[in-house]
Amino acid sequence: MLLRLGLVGLLGGTVALGASSAQAHTDAMDDKLEDRVESSYTDAKIGGLDVDVKNGVVTLTGEVATSAEKARAERLARTAGAKRVVNRLVIDTDKTAAKIEDRAEARKEVIAARGDSTTKGALQADPVYQQKVAELNAVKGNINMLRRAEAKARSEIAAYQGRVEAAPMVEQELAPIVREHEAEKKRFEDLKEKFEAAELQGDITRQQGGERFSVLYGASTPMLISIEPLRVMLFAIGAGLVLGVALMVGREFVDRSVYDARALQTEFELPVLGEIPTINRAV
């Protein structure tokens, strides 16, 4: 067991040593490639570029004046032995304008060095100078356009920042509505589940035995009831007589009126002094 552990440890150390040696060799190759790329840029009079090399891949960063210089820098890096080039160079319009102005000034100096007394006329007649002036004007127009685009982009960024800053307030206002929506949605889901369960239960019941009905009370033959008219009439007459007698007795019992002297004397126990007879008026 100890021998096996020793062999495993020796093997691991050998692998680690080999990996470190390979990494050191790769780093050395990257350093040499970086030196060659930077040397080629120095010879081509290209400056201001940052070169980073890792595992044979060259990454270029920095600013150049024209797209031609950007492509040239990438081509020189490939020529120096790069496996792949990641070109992150940015074209600076200010550098482009400065370079064109430098070329125009150099052309002026060349024409002035010739001793021509009509330098201005010679410059106007020189096609190279006219081309450079046109390029300079075009670059200046491009710079102005880019500046306007930059100002517009900054204003849009400011507007977006305002919206982003206002987003928490809008979210806070929408929070109760969202909670209410979620509650209603959950309630709807519950009702939907109950409805589906009821439909399923009904389907199961119908499939098991169909629709069954039970008779609670049996039907019977109707009975014909007939009453004799004479009997009904006699019963009505008797009931009318009884009701009439009862009304008469009740009226006499309730009525407290006095109609003659004897009733008056009996009611009040007082002597009657005189009585006025009923006077019948002649027609």
pLDDT tens, residue by residue, 216-236? 777 777 776 666 778 888 889
Last residue of a domain, one of 60, 91, 122: 91
What Å distances lie between residue 182 and 174, 192, 260, CA to CA? 12, 15, 98
Question: Mean pLDDT across the stretch 155-173?
Answer: 80
- Among 18-22, 179-183, 266-270, the range scoring the smallest mean pLDDT is 18-22
pTM: 0.34
Query: Does residue 192 form part of some domain?
Result: no
Looking at the domain assignment, is residue 69 inside a domain?
yes
Q: What is the pLDDT of residue 97?
A: 64
Same domain, 83 and 123: no
SS (H, E, C) the chain: CHHHHHHHHHHHHHHHHHHHHHHHHHHHHHHHHHHHHHHHHHHCCCCCEEEEEECCEEEEEEEECCHHHHHHHHHHHHHCCCCEEEEEEEECHHHHHHHHHHHHHHHHHHHHHCCCCCHHHHHHHCHHHHHHHHHHHHHHHHHHHHHHHHHHHHHHHHHHHHHHHHHHHHHHHHHHHHHHHHHHHHHHHHHHHHHHHHHHHHHHHHHHHCCCCCCCCCCCCCCCCCCCHHHHHHHHHHHHHHHHHHHHHHHHHHCCCCCCHHHHHHHHCCCCCCCCCCCCCCC
Q: What is the token pair recorded at 275?
A: 């009585």
pLDDT band with cut points at 50, 70 and 90 for residue 2: very low
Amino acid of residue 101: E
* Domain identity same for 98 and 158: yes
Query: Are residues 107 and 74 located together in one domain of the fold?
Result: no
Is residue 83 domain-shared with residue 104, that is, in the same domain?
no
Is 22 inside any structural domain?
yes
Residue 180, domain member (yes or no) = no
Write down which residue in 91, 126, 153 finishes a domain.
91
Mean pLDDT (whole number) for 128-155: 84
Regarding whether 152 and 133 lie in a shared domain, the answer is: yes
| Closest listed residue to residue 153, CA positions, set 145, 88, 90, 66 | 145
What pLDDT does 59 receive? 92
Range of weakest confidence among 81-90, 103-112, 116-125, 269-278: 116-125
- Inside any domain, residue 248: no
For residue 23, being part of any structural domain is answered with yes
Confidence label for 175 from pLDDT (cuts 50, 70 and 90)? confident
CATH code (residue 83) = 3.30.1340.30
Residue 16 scores a pLDDT above 60: no
Q: Give the mean pLDDT of the chain.
A: 77
Q: Is the pLDDT of residue 254 over 50?
A: yes
Range of the domain at 153: 93-169
Indicate whether 74 and 101 sit together in one domain: no
- Top-ranked range on mean pLDDT: pick from 29-38, 103-112, 221-230: 29-38
The answer to whether residues 76 and 117 belong to one domain is no
- Smallest Cα–Cα separation from 65: which of 50, 51, 49? 49
Same domain, 98 and 162: yes
Ranges 130-134, 229-233, 236-240, 263-267, most confident: 236-240
Mean pLDDT of the 27-41 span: 88
d(CA 283, CA 273): 31
Q: Does pLDDT of 243 surpass 60?
A: yes
Residues 50 and 109 in one domain: no
Task: Say yes or no: 62 and 126 in one domain.
Answer: no
Q: At which of 91, 109, 135 does a domain end?
A: 91
Residue 84 shares a structural domain with residue 102: no
Inside any domain, residue 75: yes
Could you tell me if residue 123 is inside a domain? yes
Residue type, 255: D
Residue 119 has pLDDT above 60, yes or no: no
pLDDT at 55 over 50: yes
Note whether 41 and 87 are same-domain residues. Answer: yes
The total number of structural domains that make up the chain: 2
